[in-house]
């Protein structure tokens, strides 16, 4: 590049070029909006060669406000006009590359609502109209640099006046004006994005602290970053900094820690995953609260991925659900498992019983219950059933199951060793003996007895719960037919010694009453 004797480099004034570069460097080091706009407007005046300039910025409410000025136009700061006024003016102005030029002889009603100032004025040539760089500049001409957002909305406008030599700006001035206006536009857009981000952060912060449900922020290392008030209450802590830095999975019941940690790691792997897990949070010695944790990943430009956990206390709903489930599977009068649960439990035992053990089912029916019920009333009958259930429960061993099948019928399920003959029958006799003692009821003292049918599973058999209960029920019919107050074993059960009663060979087994 050649250097000319008048201080110009390849046709460009070297001093002017240095000032341009200095302005660009200054703008590159600025991050805040106000200093950036001040630097831009000074650059327009000092480097661009304009006597005055103003930067008009579109606010969120739709007005266009003067935010920065140079050249003694301080009185314009804060002045505003409507966005529609500016858009109409720009639409009717002539285009000079990305700039707009509105001549003084155009309709002045479009500029009547714009803020004006009174700088020192110079006489314009008679009838002069600026059509190019060599033409005079009229004091009422407008040269504007609009700044547009990517979506086509107007960010703002840089307006200038009093170009050097009072003539229409040359190419260098127009280039600098466009360059600095673009820089101002980028600064305004960045500030708007930052303000929007700050607003979102403020809104999230307010929602986080005021949320009625517990919330926790967890880092990528799965350690607690923050807890809101409701979250601290769930975890039984008071101070905001309590538990910060602790592994979140370490705060839950040890039985649930692995599942909670797995849900968090799943969410970290993909922002599309929003796993939900229910866990227990210790709330006191031997006590805990059930919490449903919904986990979502949040990405940040300042931090690695973080997790937001919404913690909903579901203790009461789980308790209510458990109560409904209990009611669906248990007898309301005695609290024992009902027929449905008895079948389920028996099927589970049959499916998991080892080869060296057998499942014994006792079908139990009270003898004389109808007479008590008819003579003393249903309330007394119910009282008797409750006391019967207690005596039968006391006759059983750990792991045995007693269920009420309906009316005065009960079933006992027990698992016994195959090499111990008569264990099921011994259990049946123990139950019979417990029932023989008189019952002291509110209305009277009465006595009933118990008949029991015994059926034992064969490991090679494919009997299910219904089939085994049906066998026990048929054996019960034999005990009833043999005189009651005794037990009888089903003939298909493995051989047992000492059966005191058996069905008559010609008797027809009754239909099982335990089947729907």
- Relative to beta strand 94-96, strand 8-9 is unpaired
Give the span between the Cα atoms of 315 and 328, in whole angstroms: 20
Q: N- to C-terminal Cα distance for the chain?
A: 104
Label each residue of 393-439 as H, E or C: HHHCCCCCEEEEEECCEEEEEEEEECCCCCHHHHHHHHHHHHHHCCE
Residue 293, number of CB atoms within 10 A of its CB: 24
Q: What angle do CA 62, 64, 69 make, to 5 degrees?
A: 160
Q: What SS3 class is residue 441? A: coil
Q: What SS3 class is residue 454? A: strand
- Relative to beta strand 449-456, strand 487-489 is parallel
Among all residues, which ones are annotated catalytic?
A: 408
Give the span between the Cα atoms of 389 and 375, in whole angstroms: 21
Q: What SS3 class is residue 159? A: strand
DSSP string, 273-330: ---EEEEEEEEETTEEEEEEEEEEEE--SSSS-EEEEEEEE-HHHHHHHHHHHHHHHB
Phi, psi of 490 (to 5 degrees): -70, 135
Give the span between the Cα atoms of 487 and 500, in whole angstroms: 7
User: Is there a contact between 511 and 501 (Cβ–Cβ < 8 Å)?
Assistant: no
Phi, psi of 414 (to 5 degrees): -140, 145
Q: What is the CA 66 to chain-centroid distance, rounded?
A: 44
Nearest of 247, 248, 252, 227 to residue 239 by alpha carbon: 227
Q: Between helices 33-46 and 171-210, what is the axis angle to 10°?
A: 170
- Which stretch of DSSP H or E encloses residue 167? none
User: Is there a contact between 372 and 381 (Cβ–Cβ < 8 Å)?
Assistant: yes
Label each residue of 162-180 as H, E or C: EEHHHECCCHHHHHHHHHH
């Amino acid at each position: 590049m050649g250097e000319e004797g008048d201080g110009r480099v390849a046709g460009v004034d070297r001093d002017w070029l240095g000032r341009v570069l200095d302005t660009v460097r200054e703008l590159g080091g600025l991050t805040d909006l106000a200093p950036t706009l001040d630097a831009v407007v000074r650059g327009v005046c000092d480097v661009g060669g304009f006597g005055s300039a103003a930067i008009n910025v579109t606010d969120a409410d739709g007005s266009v406000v003067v935010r920065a000025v140079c050249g003694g136009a301080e009185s314009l700061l804060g002045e505003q006009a409507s966005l529609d006024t500016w858009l109409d003016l720009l639409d009717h102005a002539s285009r000079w590359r990305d700039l707009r030029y509105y001549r003084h002889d155009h309709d002045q009603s479009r500029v009547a609502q714009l803020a004006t100032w009174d700088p020192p004025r110079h006489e314009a040539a008679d009838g002069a109209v600026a059509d190019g760089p060599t033409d005079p500049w009229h004091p009422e001409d407008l040269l504007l640099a609009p700044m547009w957002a990517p979506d086509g909305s107007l960010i703002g406008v840089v307006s200038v006046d009093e170009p050097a030599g009072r003539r229409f700006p040359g190419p260098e001035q127009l280039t600098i004006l466009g360059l600095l206006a673009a820089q101002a536009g980028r600064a305004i857009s960045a500030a708007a994005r930052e303000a929007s981000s700050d607003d979102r952060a403020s809104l999230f912060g307010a929602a986080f602290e005021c949320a009625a449900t517990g919330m926790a922020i967890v880092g990528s290392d799965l350690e607690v970053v923050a807890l809101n008030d409701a979250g601290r209450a769930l975890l039984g802590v008071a101070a905001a900094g309590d538990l910060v830095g602790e592994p979140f999975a370490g705060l839950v019941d040890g039985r649930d820690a692995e599942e909670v940690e797995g849900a968090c790691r799943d969410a970290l792997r993909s922002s599309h995953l929003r796993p939900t897990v229910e866990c227990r949070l210790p709330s006191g010695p031997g006590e805990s609260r059930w919490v449903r944790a919904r986990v979502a990943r949040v990405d940040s430009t300042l931090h690695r991925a973080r997790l937001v956990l919404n913690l909903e206390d579901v203790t009461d709903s789980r308790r209510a659900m458990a109560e409904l489930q209990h009611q669906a599977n248990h007898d309301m009068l005695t609290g024992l498992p009902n027929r449905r649960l008895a079948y389920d439990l028996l099927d589970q035992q049959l499916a998991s019983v080892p080869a060296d053990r057998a499942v014994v089912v006792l079908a139990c029916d009270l003898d004389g219950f109808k007479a008590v019920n008819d003579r003393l009333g249903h309330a007394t009958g119910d009282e008797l059933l409750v006391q019967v259930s207690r005596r039968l429960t006391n006759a059983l061993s750990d792991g045995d199951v007693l269920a009420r099948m309906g009316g005065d019928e009960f079933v006992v399920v027990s698992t016994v060793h195959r090499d111990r003959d008569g264990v099921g029958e011994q259990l049946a006799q123990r139950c019979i003996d417990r029932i023989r003692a008189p019952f002291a009821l509110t209305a009277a003292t009465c006595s009933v007895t118990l008949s029991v049918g015994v059926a034992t599973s064969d490991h090679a058999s494919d009997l299910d719960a219904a089939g085994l209960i049906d066998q026990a029920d048929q054996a019960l019919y034999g005990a009833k037919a043999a005189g009651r107050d005794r037990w009888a074993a089903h003939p298909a059960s493995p051989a047992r010694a000492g059966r005191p009663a058996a069905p008559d060979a010609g008797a027809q087994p009754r239909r099982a009453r335990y089947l729907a």
